Structure 1
Amino acid sequence: MESKLAPATLGYFTTVQQERTGWTGGLLVLNGGGRPLEFQCTLPLRPTKAHEILFGNTLRQHLICDVIGPTLLKKCRTPISMLLCEQTESLRMSDADCTLGFVATPENDGKATIAREHAGHCVMRIRDEKVLVAMEQVEAAEQVAEQLGDFPDLIEPFERIREAIREAQSQIARAA
């Protein structure tokens, strides 16, 4: 009897940093056709001055891959085949139980990052986009990519997350 693979799901994770509100993370899980299955976002997180001093230039990485990312992944109820991120710090998330990939987007300096590649990572193509993936996860990433059928756009979901975060923040502001 042939075993059938579960349909691939793509998770999209990003953070938005705003002077007024602080750091907010968003996680959008899509099916292979690009339709939403689940969305999670954090409340804004504002590091204290003590955090800024103690963490120094590692504060950004700490917030993204030790605080915000793991919080969203723990809350997520939908299994994720591959988590796509637009901040390179996300590649260091150790709590992720899925393949991690960094996507070059207009919002980040992804083209330069991908050109440099990180140690232990390589570039692969998914839906005409370059994705940086850990070498030990390339085979799993290729399997996910094969299951994406008619997935429309690999970059556009990041904008959906940013827009959903803006909307949630404006609703909170109106309620206050």
Structure 2
Amino acid sequence: IKSSKTALMQLQQSIQNLASRPEEEAYLIGNPLEQFTWLSRDHLNVLVYLLTVFHSMLSGRLEKALKYADKAQAQIEQIKSMDHSPFLMAVEMLFYECRIQSHLIFGNKSVAIKEINLLCRLHTASNSINSSNAIQRTLTIHALLGLYATSLNFNEAAEAQFASALRTRVN
């Protein structure tokens, strides 16, 4: 984690610099390899939040991870009124996954199961938009349900969820 901290912070800073660059300036760049315009400014900001959340979780700062996941969720909700891209949907699901894991670690089981429910709804809604990632999302939901069951000491239910995830992965 310590060795990745510098690289992650540099990547985060680079993305922030790109997101803050004036739009007109992006078109003046002569070298096409220096252009990073395949993501909108809003998507770049969400990506910075995602990197912050991942880094915070990996370094054990779960409060910070939850704080930035909540900020990102608010921004995603604003963007979703105009944009329903697969990128945004995938990133939103990653934020839910991080928040659920954090709530389970903190012992906030009721909040975690509510967020699992929201993730399931998002998964169901996204299947019609992008079915190519549906299997991966199904695996994630089974794994999160397994972690939730483990936190309640329902070991048989946890084992069933993990087995379900493995069966889905194999098929």
TM surpasses 0.5 = no
Structure ID, larger Rg: 2
Q: Which has the higher strand share?
A: 1
Normalising by structure 1, report the TM-score. Answer: 0.29
Q: Which structure ranks higher in relative contact order (CA pairs < 8 Å, sequence separation ≥ 6)? A: 1
More helix, by proportion = 2
